[in-house]
Amino acid sequence: MADTGLLESLLRLLEKVDGGTDSQDVAADLGVDHQVIVGAVKSLQALGEVISTEQKSSKHWELTGEGREIAEQGSHEARVFNAIPDEGLPQNELMKMPSGKVGFSKAMSNKWIRLDKAHEGGPRVFKTVETIEDTVRDKLQLVQKGQSAKLEDKEKNELKKRKLLSEVTVKSYWITKGSSFSTTITKQETELTPEMIASGSWKEKNFKPYNFEAMGVAPDCGHLHPLMKVRTQFRQIFLEMGFTEMPTNNFIESSFWNFDSLFQPQQHPARDQHDTFFISDPALAHEFPQDYMERVKKVHSEGGYGSQGYKYDWKIEEAQKNLLRTHTTAVSARMLYKLAQQKFTPVKYFSIDRVFRNETLDATHLAEFHQIEGVVADYGLTLGNLMGVLHQFFTKLGITKLRFKPAYNPYTEPSMEVFSYHEGLKKWVEVGNSGVFRPEMLLPMGLPEGVSVIAWGLSLERPTMIKYGINNIRELVGHKVNLQMVYDSPIFQKPPKNKTEEASN
Amino acid sequence: MPTVSVKRDLLFEALGQKYTDEEFDELCFEFGLELDEITSEKDIISREQGDEKAEGASDVVLYKIDVPANRYDLLCLEGLVRGLQVFKEKLEAPRYKRVSPADGGEPQRLVITDETASVRPHAVAAVLHDVTFTQERYESFIELQEKLHQNICRKRTLVAIGTHDLDTISGPFTYTAKPPGDIRFKPLNQSKEYTATELMSLYKTDGHLRHYLHIIENEPLYPIIYDSNGIVLSMPPIINGDNCSMLLNLKSVFCVCLQAKTTLDMVVTMFSEYCEEPFTVEEAEVVYPDGRLCVYPELAYRTETLSGDFINKRVGINESAESIAQLLTRMCLRSEVSGEGDLIQVEIPPTRADVIHACDIMEDAAIAYGFNNIVRSTPRTYTVANQLPLNKLTELLRQDLAAAGFTEALTFALCSEEDIADKLRKNIAETRAVHISNPKTAEFQVARTCLLPGLLKTLAANRKMPLPLKLFEISDVVLKDETKDVGARNNRRLCAVYYNKSPGFEVIHGLLDRVMQLLDVKPDRNQGYHIQAAEDSTFFPGRCAEIFSCGKSIGHLGVLHPDVISRFELTMPCSAIDIDIEPFL
């Protein structure tokens, strides 16, 4: 902060003028360097509305170092002229003067001096006139006094060429009185202190205004992962809808529960090595509900329960093969089987957990991802009911415009792809899959004939990527994520209105 | 999902109507198809090989249509058009008929010998008689076989299809198996004869055929089909003979399918449309090694009876039996009200092998009704929601760990053996890890047995971030466990790391104290928790402790061994905690 004395001098000066003043004039009036006044102006600005300012820039002429020397001591040629006594001076002596060389040639061309080369004792220089007028010095002194306007442009440019003058741009302030103008400075406090509160001195103090444009200090805290934040919200939605969470903490599953129990035939392409991770150790599952397994075998190979079956040779060896579950529906199958072993009561189940696919990886596909799944089992559920539940579920995500496309899935019939209208893309995009579990899956489990089970699924990653504007899944999941992204990611409240329809893709 | 590529103008001509792209897309959506892409040969070539190569290629508009994986009857233009026309009630579903040879002659015969027992002792055959092909029809015929090979035939491993110009060969035909050295013929598109052994090495470099070689490569005998003059029809499932390959102007097609009669039905029903008498297929006899004689194609129609009430109740609509019968008829399932209550008799044609249960019929009724015309209603199912206790505990702890200043990481459940063993200075045999048999890369060799490698890799990827870095993850690891039906189980773990210029053991120790406080476990040697010095090769000697809760070991904490730090490409000291949270349920 500039010293208070200077600030007050500036303010007193300002008090006298009407309509304001330029900081350069202030500098001239107070006889201090302009930069000091600039500092003072900044200090005054920080005090609030004492002054108001407007930045200006102007060009003006200034002497160079050499120019200042000439303004003080005279031009080189004048100095040379003055050094020559009436009896003349040997040229070599004259040349030893600091201004010698330049001054000699200029004085010669001005015809102030002459050179007698034939003089005995070597060439000697003599004055040719009695007095001279040092116009260069006069002009420079004019500039120094701030009266450069009296010179013609041609003259200024000539001096500029001689590197005696330079044109500089000056940033200055146009200063006027502010709304709380005063000629005295009260020292401003930066912060309220316990002492001020205790003594009550805060009442007399002025406080330095805050800069509300600046960012605050980031709180010292940990952060939850964005995908897990979205998982929490989906969990919440299911819980609000009365769905009970399934125990999906079993990544290793047998082919039996992952495929066979779902009426997925053993030669189905999904059971190919190219799509599924199989386990070499422990390679085989060793325990199955025997009766149930027999019924599954029968429905695949021969049919039954009103079905033709797939008519192929079902092998237990294929069912025993362990794998990394390819969908959480394997757990739904276990849960429905368990349900069938008791007196039937309607259930609503959900899960959100990891599943694994041995597929080709790209920007949106990883070998593992999270599947969201919902299941309802009750007597007499209809396809219309499934659509109704889906409508409620997606409404909670802010997605209200839905339509359904017939699709194929080995374990649901009917199967429907769920589409929502994407306001941004102006088209319908797929947001999930759904269907009614096949009787060939449910009846061998022992569920009563009239019970229907409706289900749907979607991935957790896709809506999350849309929500956080992430195009490459590797920037969201896995060890390569940038922690800054985790630090900065907002909460998943509900998709913003205009993005509503994208959020679940 | 298989994609069928059809020429738009040809499609519209066959449909007898022009659609805008949007209208056709809408029709597809309703029917359960997806107009995936609108393109042209020129577009495709230019996208794949650059504009120069595309010069001169056809710019006829192609529709690429995604077809459900179980609808083999929609895999070609002919089938698609038939399906859509019937759906739009512009056409009655044709009735496919097996007929005897027109001239009263003997049917063609395929004799299967004993030798085929080791390869595929089953084949079926049929004849398309007096068929008229154009360039487009011919291409579609070949394309359908290719589509079937990829789908229902599971890349020819289940079924192989062969079609031959009947006028260039003469029956009876023999399906046998021979050692590859004894098989010699001129294959399709080749100018000289090869032995089967030579062919196998010739096709090693063939972009298309090399994918099928493995099916018979290691068999002592290769399957082969001859005509009565010893001309080779084909060496299934690899290649046809050149002599009987099909040409545009052929008159009759002899179709042979190894294994599946459904596939044969599909091929002949689709193209019998172009026979002199449309939708008829000439029979062929197959004699099996045991002397059995069967006549193909089966072209079997099946009748199912179900009630209108069943459909109404499952779909959630209220239609009369008559109107439901009409809906089903539009799906190529010719249906009639039987007159007995609301019972409907539904005839399943040979083209609809996907219909195996009443629920498939119900779906077709729903599609014809229009999924989006069904009233959406909320089920009255009353249930009370429950969280899984383990997940509830996880959710609660996550919140408080973040509040304690640690940031949540989300790392992969699969990793390399090295990650969980060598890099942690452990022996893989002691990890109880579950091993994957078919990983494409080392990243997917095992399921993780601890969370630490994932967190250390996350640190390594974020070395530029300001220190200290404090991370945690609560997630599952997988361990072998004989007591489980699959021999393995998940285990929910809590892992946290502190990475800074100094090891910060006290920080990690403080986190343990905080977690225990949250779990309401007091520091106490017997009833509460305590830590005690332990040796663990992952940790720096003398800087590791085992954590006990109520006398039971639940994990470790300590300063990581410098070798572990360097092996994860880290440079600063790091302390870590890893505990099992399941005992706290």
CB contact under 8 A, A385 and B377: yes
Q: What is the pLDDT of residue B28?
A: 93
Q: Averaged over B337-355, what is the pLDDT?
A: 91
CB contact under 8 A, B385 and A242: yes
Measured CA to CA in angstroms, residue B405 lies from A116, A215, B510, B520 at distances of 93, 21, 12, 20
Q: Does the structure show a pLDDT above 70 at A236?
A: yes
> Which chain A residues in 55-114 lie under 8 Å from chain B, judged by CB atoms?
none
In a domain, A287, yes or no: yes
User: Between these two residues, B530 and A107, which has the higher pLDDT value?
Assistant: B530
Q: What is the pLDDT of residue A502?
A: 44
Question: How far does the CA of residue A243 sit from the closest CA of chain B (Å)?
Answer: 5
In a domain, A416, yes or no: yes
Q: What is the pLDDT of residue A494?
A: 65
CA distance B365 to A423: 32
Digit-coded pLDDT (tens) for A480-495: 999 999 999 888 776 5
Q: Judge contact between B298 and B266, C-beta under 8 A.
A: no
Tokens, residue A40? 């003072």
Q: What is the pLDDT of residue A93?
A: 79
% of chain A surpassing 90 pLDDT = 43
CA distance B52 to B42: 10
Q: What is the pLDDT of residue A448?
A: 96
Give B3-88's CATH code, choosing from 3.30.450.20, 3.40.50.2300, 3.30.750.24, 3.30.56.10: 3.30.56.10
In a domain, A468, yes or no: yes
Q: Does the structure show a pLDDT above 90 at B445?
A: yes
Backbone φ, ψ for residue A236 (5° rounding) = -60, -45
Q: Averaged over A16-28, what is the pLDDT?
A: 83
Q: Does the structure show a pLDDT above 90 at A316?
A: yes
Mean pLDDT lowest among A352-366, B44-58, B418-432, B468-482: B44-58
In a domain, A426, yes or no: yes
Question: How far does the CA of residue B34 sit from the closest CA of chain A (Å)?
Answer: 9
Q: Does the structure show a pLDDT above 50 at B543?
A: yes
Indicate the domain borders of chain B. 3-88, 97-296, 302-367, 389-584
**Quick one: which of B406, B580, B362 has its CA closest to B510?**
B406
Mutant choice from B87, B301, B381 vs A, greatest count of A C-beta within 10 A: B381
Please give the single-letter amino acid code of residue B225.
Answer: I
CB contact under 8 A, A283 and B411: no
Q: Given pLDDT bands bounded at 50, 70 and 90, which one contains residue B436?
A: very high
Digit-coded pLDDT (tens) for B356-394: 999 999 999 999 999 999 999 999 999 999 999 999 999
CA distance B48 to A268: 30
- Prediction ipTM score: 0.91
Q: What is the pLDDT of residue A149?
A: 76
Q: Does the structure show a pLDDT above 50 at A503?
A: no
Torsion of CA B11, B16, B17, B19, to 10 degrees: -10
Backbone φ, ψ for residue B128 (5° rounding) = -100, 115
CB contact under 8 A, A383 and B405: no
> Which chain A residues in 147-186 lie under 8 Å from chain B, judged by CB atoms?
none
Q: Given pLDDT bands bounded at 50, 70 and 90, which one contains residue A505?
A: very low
**Quick one: which of B322, B319, B335 has its CA closest to B369?**
B319
Digit-coded pLDDT (tens) for B464-474: 999 999 999 99
Mutant choice from A223, A251, A379, A420 vs B, greatest count of B C-beta within 10 A: A251
Q: Averaged over B115-135, what is the pLDDT?
A: 85
Output the average pLDDT for chain A.
87
CA distance B515 to B394: 12
Residues of A in contact with B464 (CB under 8 A): none
CB contact under 8 A, A438 and B357: yes
Number of H helices and E strands in chain B, helices first, is 16, 30
Q: Does the structure show a pLDDT above 50 at A6?
A: yes
Domain B3-88 shares a fold with domain B302-367: yes
Closest partner residue to B388 (CB to CB) among A245, A281, A406 is A245
CB contact under 8 A, A278 and B440: no
Question: How far does the CA of residue A320 sit from the closest CA of chain B (Å)?
Answer: 9
Please give the single-letter amino acid code of residue B562.
Answer: P
Q: Report pTM.
A: 0.80
% of chain B surpassing 90 pLDDT = 57
Interface check A219 vs B, CB under 8 A: no
Number of domains in chain A: 1
Question: How far does the CA of residue A210 sit from the closest CA of chain B (Å)?
Answer: 28
CA distance A111 to B271: 117
Q: Given pLDDT bands bounded at 50, 70 and 90, which one contains residue A2?
A: low
Q: Does the structure show a pLDDT above 60 at A496?
A: no
Q: Does the structure show a pLDDT above 60 at B116?
A: yes
In a domain, A377, yes or no: yes
User: Between these two residues, A137 and B248, which has the higher pLDDT value?
Assistant: A137
Digit-coded pLDDT (tens) for B495-542: 999 999 999 999 999 999 999 999 999 999 989 999 999 999 999 999
Closest partner residue to A254 (CB to CB) among B31, B408, B486 is B486
Domain that holds residue A460: 227-488
Residues of A in contact with B360 (CB under 8 A): 413
User: Collapsing DSSP states into helix, strand and coil, what is residue A51?
Assistant: strand
Q: What is the pLDDT of residue A501?
A: 43
Q: What is the pLDDT of residue B346?
A: 95
Please give the single-letter amino acid code of residue A300.
Answer: H
- The CATH superfamily label for domain B389-584 reads Bira Bifunctional Protein; Domain 2 (3.30.930.10)
Closest partner residue to A404 (CB to CB) among B372, B378, B414 is B372
CA distance A425 to B283: 53
Q: Does the structure show a pLDDT above 80 at B264?
A: yes
CA distance A357 to B414: 11
Q: Does the structure show a pLDDT above 80 at B243?
A: no
Please give the single-letter amino acid code of residue A67.
Answer: G
Q: Does the structure show a pLDDT above 60 at A335?
A: yes
Residue A496 Cα to chain centre, angstroms: 19
> Which chain A residues in 378-417 lie under 8 Å from chain B, judged by CB atoms?
378, 380-385, 387-389, 391-392, 403-408, 410, 413-416
Q: What is the pLDDT of residue A495?
A: 56
- Tell me the CATH number at A314: 3.30.930.10
3-state secondary structure A396-462: HCCCCCEEEEEEEECCEEEEEEEEEEECCCCEEEEEEEEEEECHHHHHHHCCCCCEEEEEEEEECHH
Digit-coded pLDDT (tens) for B275-325: 888 899 989 899 988 889 988 898 899 999 999 999 999 999 999 999 999
**Quick one: which of B106, B218, B120, B203 has its CA closest to B162?**
B120
- Angle B459-B465-B470 (CA atoms, 0-180°, nearest 5)? 50
CA distance B166 to B198: 27
Closest partner residue to B485 (CB to CB) among A286, A305, A438 is A286
CB contact under 8 A, B444 and A220: no
Residues of A in contact with B401 (CB under 8 A): 222
CB contact under 8 A, A280 and B383: no
Strands A113-116 and A51-63: unpaired
Backbone φ, ψ for residue B295 (5° rounding) = -110, 130
CB contact under 8 A, B383 and A243: yes
Q: Averaged over A329-348, what is the pLDDT?
A: 96
Output the average pLDDT for chain B.
91
CA distance B556 to B505: 12
CA distance B163 to B173: 13
Residues of A in contact with B31 (CB under 8 A): 406
CB contact under 8 A, A391 and B438: no
A111-120 long-range contacts (CB < 8 A, ≥24 apart) are: A112/A77, A112/A81, A113/A80, A113/A81, A113/A84, A115/A91, A116/A88, A119/A88
Query: In the β-sheet with B34-40, what is the strand arrangement from edge to edge?
Result: B3-7, B61-66, B34-40
CA distance A374 to A245: 9
CA distance A473 to A227: 11
Backbone φ, ψ for residue B76 (5° rounding) = -145, 165
Mean pLDDT lowest among A473-482, B85-94, B236-245, B275-284: B236-245
Measured CA to CA in angstroms, residue A213 lies from A209, A210, A216, A219 at distances of 12, 9, 9, 18
> Which chain A residues in 263-292 lie under 8 Å from chain B, judged by CB atoms?
267, 269, 273, 277-288
CB contact under 8 A, B465 and A484: yes
Q: Averaged over B86-114, what is the pLDDT?
A: 89
**Quick one: which of B95, B249, B254 has its CA closest to B173?**
B254
Measured CA to CA in angstroms, residue A68 lies from A24, A65, A142, B429 at distances of 20, 5, 11, 88
Mutant choice from B485, B491, B493, B569 vs A, greatest count of A C-beta within 10 A: B485
Digit-coded pLDDT (tens) for A384-411: 999 999 999 999 888 888 999 999 999 9
Q: What is the pLDDT of residue A437?
A: 97
CA distance A491 to B299: 60
Q: What is the pLDDT of residue A498?
A: 46
Strands A412-422 and A451-459: unpaired
**What is B302-367's CATH number?**
3.30.56.10
Mutant choice from B262, B383, B458 vs A, greatest count of A C-beta within 10 A: B383
Question: How far does the CA of residue B170 sit from the closest CA of chain A (Å)?
Answer: 34
In a domain, A192, yes or no: no
- First-to-final CA distance of chain A: 58
CB contact under 8 A, A286 and B315: no
- The CATH superfamily label for domain B97-296 reads Phenylalanyl-trna Synthetase, Chain B, domain 3 (3.50.40.10)
CA distance A11 to A175: 10
CB contact under 8 A, A408 and B404: no
Q: What is the pLDDT of residue A48?
A: 72
Digit-coded pLDDT (tens) for A160-189: 888 888 888 878 888 888 877 877 777 778
Digit-coded pLDDT (tens) for A211-226: 888 888 888 899 999 9
% of chain B surpassing 70 pLDDT = 99
